[in-house]
Amino acid sequence: MNQKGPLADVLRQSIIDGDFAPGSRLSEAALAEQFDVSRNTLREAFRVLAEQGLVEHIPHRGVSVASPTIADVIDIYRARRVIECAALRQSEPEHPAVQRMRDALAEAEEQLPQENWRRIGSANMAFHDAIVALADSARLARTYRDVAAELRLVFLEIDEPRSLHEPYVRRNRAVLTTLLDKGPDAAADELERYLTASERSVLGAFARMGHA
Amino acid sequence: MNQKGPLADVLRQSIIDGDFAPGSRLSEAALAEQFDVSRNTLREAFRVLAEQGLVEHIPHRGVSVASPTIADVIDIYRARRVIECAALRQSEPEHPAVQRMRDALAEAEEQLPQENWRRIGSANMAFHDAIVALADSARLARTYRDVAAELRLVFLEIDEPRSLHEPYVRRNRAVLTTLLDKGPDAAADELERYLTASERSVLGAFARMGHA
DNA sequence: TAGTTCTAGATTGTTCAACAACTTTGTTTC
DNA sequence: GAAACAAAGTTGTTGAACAATCTAGAACTA
């Protein structure tokens, strides 16, 4: 394999796509071979991903794909609530990201009957990405991107696509219509309910599979 | 030089301490020599710092110490408002970080008569660090740490210690007493005023020095 | 057998030297 | 003075080598 672009981005996408299971070790020798780069180049990419929280680096023990714990999930949703709700609450109704919210939601609703959970999940992520974009803050957006990637790992481990995605398309719809009809503050309250429900659902699935 | 600990941390501290001026280029050869490490090891550290936003890495052009623009300052304060106000607003009155707020504020007030701006600045940072700690969120704390480091670079460039720090010790006092007397919501409102005033002061100093 | 110690193997951490890829600088040319 | 070009310098990447550390299994003890 010798895809173009920065190695860290390629690796990042591989991890997000589930090519390497959460918790699995990433051997320098093996990955250097697989991606056809030298160990030194690979290690630079590892440092980037570690800083993004996608992999865990333990000195002299190598790097593994992050394997979020229950505590991590709680923290991830805490960060989501702070960032997403703040973005929505201070949003301008004419902000271009509102259209992105519409589009993402339309896509999710279109895929819903076919139960195409992969696409629905991606559309769901795009919807919340658009919410964060309302804040026009590169730094908050970056943090959200990292947190969302970690959450993606959580979904990979759970693998109950219907119960994780199906109820939330409707809730996203509620957030958007509330924003349009009743304004940012009411929408932010709705979003907070969404996030609380989603968090509970994920934590429940975690508990069900006896996860630490 | 051959200090202990991860190279990225040592470098980070050097930059925060102003050993390398914002915007200055960091030559691989020169720094590898200075810190007595190989270029490869240095490059790994560079990737970490770039991800933290402390240095800027442009392919084939090397890395430079970040040199925040006015747009960056605005974004930094946007992120601060979101994170700090959220942390304060949802805080429990008995949280241990409240004591850290007290201690940091006491330190600042003690150093105020002596006009020891360096210490006052550090105590100020500790105060806001404690505010963020109220949220008990590792991810938000990490983002705040990065943002605070960037802001430190801004202060290094401005170098008007009195006008940047003197008025804000009083305002920090107001935030804390409001928190204790009137609760988290009122304190968060007070903090928002603090941040708005601080932002304006920094932007003013920037404009005064004809900064891009 | 269960637990401990020790050894051998494997993996990561780091360095070095080399070269390719690219940028920058200075010169020539028009 | 502007554009084209050549030279020099810097970063990007590699491969090999070795040191430092961890891991797994064998040998040993109780």
Query: Could you tell me which chain B residue has the CA closest to the CA of A138?
Result: B75
Q: What pLDDT sits at residue A164? A: 87
What is each CA distance from B114 to A52, B101, B107, B179, in whole angstroms? 41, 21, 12, 28
Per-residue pLDDT at A3 exceeds 70: no
Q: What pLDDT sits at residue B164? A: 87
Could you tell me which residues come within 8 angstroms of residue B109 by beta carbon, excluding any fewer than 6 positions away? Answer: B169, B173
Alpha-carbon gap, residue A109 to A112, rounded angstroms: 5
**Phi and psi (nearest 5°) for A148?**
-65, -35
Is A21:A158 a contact under the CB 8 Å cutoff? no
Beta bridge partners of A63: A26, A57
In this prediction, the residues of chain B whose per-residue pLDDT falls under 50 are none
Q: Which amino acid is at A24?
A: S
Q: Report the residue from A40, A44, A140 with minimal CB separation from B82.
A: A140
Q: What burial letters (b/e) apply to A30-54, b meaning 16+ CB within 10 Å?
A: ebbeebebeeeebbbbbbbbbbbbb
- The side-by-side arrangement of strands in the sheet containing A62-65 is A25-26, A62-65, A55-58
Q: How confident is the model at residue A2 (pLDDT cuts 50, 70, 90)?
A: low
Alpha-carbon gap, residue A23 to A20, rounded angstroms: 8
Could you tell me which residues come within 8 angstroms of residue B195 by beta carbon, excluding any fewer than 6 positions away? Answer: B77, B80, B81, B84, B85
Is B93:B181 a contact under the CB 8 Å cutoff? no
Q: What pLDDT sits at residue B46? A: 98
Is the CB of residue B161 less than 8 Å away from at least one CB of chain A? no
pTM metric for this prediction: 0.94
C1' (C14) to CA (B38) span, angstroms: 7
Beta bridge partners of A56: A64
- The side-by-side arrangement of strands in the sheet containing B55-58 is B25-26, B62-65, B55-58
Q: What does the pLDDT look like over B144-166, one tens digit per residue? A: 999 999 999 999 999 888 888 89
> Residues of A numbered 47-106 whose beta carbons fall under 8 angstroms of chain B's beta carbons: which are they?
47-48, 50-53, 75-76, 78-79, 82-83, 86-87
Beta bridge partners of B63: B26, B57
Q: How confident is the model at residue A15 (pLDDT cuts 50, 70, 90)?
A: very high
Place of tokens 């702070």: A82
Other beta carbons within 10 Å of B66: 21
Q: What does the pLDDT look like over A80-126, one tens digit per residue? A: 999 999 999 999 999 999 999 999 999 999 999 999 999 999 999 99
Alpha-carbon gap, residue B126 to B129, rounded angstroms: 5
**Between B117-133 and B161-182, two packed helices, what is the crossing angle to 10 degrees?**
40
The H or E element that residue B121 is part of is: helix B117-133
Residue nearest to nucleotide D21 (CA to C1'): A60
Q: What does the pLDDT look like over A41-68, one tens digit per residue? A: 999 999 999 999 999 999 999 999 999 9
Place of tokens 């591989």: A14
C1' (D25) to CA (A43) span, angstroms: 30
Residues of B in contact with A139 (CB under 8 A): 53, 75-76, 78-79, 143, 146-147
Alpha-carbon gap, residue A89 to B60, rounded angstroms: 41
Q: What pLDDT sits at residue A159? A: 83
Q: How many CA atoms lie less than 13 Å away from B113 in the CB half-sphere?
A: 2
